[in-house]
Amino acid sequence: MRHERQVELLKRVGASGDHFAGLHAPQSVVQPASAYADPERFAEELRVLFRNGPTLLGLSCEMPSPGDYLSTVLDGIPILAVRQADGSVRAMINACRHRAAPLVTERAGNIGRSIVCGYHGWTYDTGGTLLARPLSAGAFDDVTITCDLHRVAVAEQYGLIFVRAGSAEPIDVDATLGGAQDDLGAFRLDTYTHIETRTNEWAMNWKLVLDTFTESYHIRWLHKNTIAPAFNSDCVIYDGFGRNCLSVGLRANVLDELAKPEDEWSLLPYGTIQYFLVPNALVVHQLDHVEVWRLEPLDVGRVRTHTSIFAPEPPDERALKYWTRNLDLLLQVTGTEDFPTMERIQAALSSGAVPEVVYGRIEPPLIHFHRAVDEALAAAEA
Ligand code: FES
Ligand SMILES: [Fe+2]
């Protein structure tokens, strides 16, 4: 993150007054439980945000070499993106043109020089053009439809790869990032090394995964036996970037930095710098690494999460253990403290007995995120 930007954010903290009240949102918001529990609303979110809108597929450094691929499922649509020999990325529907079998079944890997369907062996080049229907003795020669894989839109910039599951309508990455590219570009995400990704499923609405990380307010209570002593619970720095937003959680001793001369200030040792790329991703810059959360909503009350860790350089054996331990800890705290609570919240909201939740002025990124989703749904309806 650029030094001037770190100074600007730290100045906001310094000027925020008692209990950091100057960082609060102007107004609290009451949100109906149906935002988390109504299947019809969920179907609309999938259509508007996950099918029609761009979503983050992953980081460029997860598929650096020709033949490397990433796959996902968005509103039921199976997507496969492959790095081409010329360095570009193509994205296709991950369903064979013969009888729609999946072409890859793993989340990530390398397909080599061609894509071969595991059902009857139809073979495509890495861009999805049909090359061969082996051992069929010409039995498909009278088929008149094109049997190349269906293409979908993909775009890559700032070390981020976006896809649009529902169509080939081009993706404007700058418009998608809404201004967050100034910070994200400075992180040079394309130079990182992917260490590991772990996949889990949770019994909660997809938005509750992101809610978990939007605010620091819960740290003092929910994490009182783990990370609470090291972190500030009253304070979160917030910025909005179109649909996306920044939420910076701060260490308890952040004000120490402001005692130094300004040209020595650094936010990085004090901040968990989180970019919410609405709808499906969270990119977190920690002092010495990057974490990425990606979501695949499965049902109104069920979500799959992919949690990845990235290091600034290729690790040796010792570094690899260190990064793996980092990921262990992240998943341990979220998996034993945050997400079990979120699953119980989902159960309460789905019961019909809790009509609404409240987002307070101390939780500005939470307010932003839900407003962004609500506005996207309203705009699609208009
Ligand atoms: S479904 Fe792929 S070759 Fe038959
Ligand atoms: Fe938490």
Positive or negative, the Cα torsion across 367, 210, 311, 162?
negative
382: pLDDT confidence band, cut at 50, 70 and 90? Answer: confident
Name the residue with higher pLDDT: 1 or 155.
155
Does residue 234 register a pLDDT over 90? Answer: no
99 lines ligand 1 (CB under 6 A): yes
Output the CA 276–ligand 1 centroid distance in Å. Answer: 38
Residue range 30-46: mean pLDDT, rounded = 98
Ligand 1 atom index nearest CA of 117: 2
Does residue 235 register a pLDDT over 90? Answer: no
Contact (Cβ atoms closer than 8 angstroms) between residue 304 and residue 295: yes
The pLDDT tens digits for 108-141 are: 999 999 999 999 999 999 999 999 999 999 999 9
Output the CA 144–ligand 1 centroid distance in Å. Answer: 17
pLDDT, residue 19, reads 87
Contact (Cβ atoms closer than 8 angstroms) between residue 192 and residue 290: yes
Percent of the chain with pLDDT over 70: 100
User: Whole-prediction pTM value?
Assistant: 0.96
30: pLDDT confidence band, cut at 50, 70 and 90? Answer: very high
169: pLDDT confidence band, cut at 50, 70 and 90? Answer: very high
The pLDDT tens digits for 254-274 are: 999 999 999 999 999 998 999
Among 66, 90, 93, 69, which Cα is nearest to 79's? 93
Question: CA-to-CA distance for 201 and 268, rounded, in angstroms?
Answer: 31
Residues 6+ apart with CB under 8 A from 143: none
115 lines ligand 1 (CB under 6 A): no
140 lines ligand 1 (CB under 6 A): no
Ligand 1 atom index nearest CA of 100: 1
